[in-house]
Amino acid sequence: MIDSDTNIRQADLQSTDLQTSENVFQVLANNARNRTLGELRTTAVGCGINAAFIWWRYPSFSWLAAGFAACAAYAVWGLLDRSLLDAEEHGFVARGRAELLLKAQRVVAAAGSGAAFWALFRFMAAALGGWQH
């Protein structure tokens, strides 16, 4: 019984170490890196078009459009990450390009996070009939 209790405790410690080492941005980054360029391009274009159309045509569904915008930002971040990896492989010549891509990644990450929060809050407002307290 002592060995099994020790194994269970060790397994619990390992799972908590894994949980504390990753955050939502790292998980999204890993998922984006596992996608093909075609998937990322299709997601960026498709979600961007959906977001623009819904926001323009159905403003009351801005929460849905913001969700699509967040997905498009995820795909654009993945495409920028691929470009950054390519720039790093080329070395010193592409240093300026790599810095520009890093800045663009930060802007896209901030915009995507903002769109995700907007989607969450606007959905809650729509579902609860507004923010009347």
**72-121 pLDDT tens trace:** 999 999 999 888 887 777 776 567 777 888 899 999 999 999 999 999 99
pTM of the model: 0.75
The residue type of 87 is: A
Residues sharing a CB contact under 8 Å with residue 76, sequence separation 6 or more, in sequence order? 44, 108, 112
Structure tokens at 4: 């099994």
Q: Which residue has the higher pLDDT, 132 or 30?
A: 30
pLDDT number for residue 69:
96
pLDDT higher at 27 or 98: 27
Alpha carbons 10 and 130: distance in angstroms, whole number: 47
**Which strand (E) or helix (H) includes residue 131?**
none
Going from the C-alpha of 109 to that of each of 29, 62, 86, 112, the distances in angstroms are 10, 20, 20, 5
pLDDT in tens, 2-20: 555 555 555 555 555 555 6
Looking at residue 97, its pLDDT comes to: 78
More confident: 36 or 19: 36
The DSSP secondary-structure symbol of 22 reads -
- Residues near 48 by Cβ (< 8 Å), separated by ≥ 6? 68, 69, 72
Domain residue spans of the chain: 23-127
Q: How far apart are the C-alpha atoms of 92 and 129, rounded to whole Å?
A: 55
Nearest residue to 113 (alpha-carbon basis) of 63, 61, 66, 48: 66
Q: What is the DSSP letter of 129?
A: T
Q: What per-residue confidence (pLDDT) applies to 63?
A: 92
Banded pLDDT at 67 (limits 50, 70, 90): very high
Q: Kindly list the distances between the CA atom of residue 126 and the CA atoms of 61, 77, 118, 119, in Å, as whole numbers in the listed order.
A: 9, 29, 12, 10
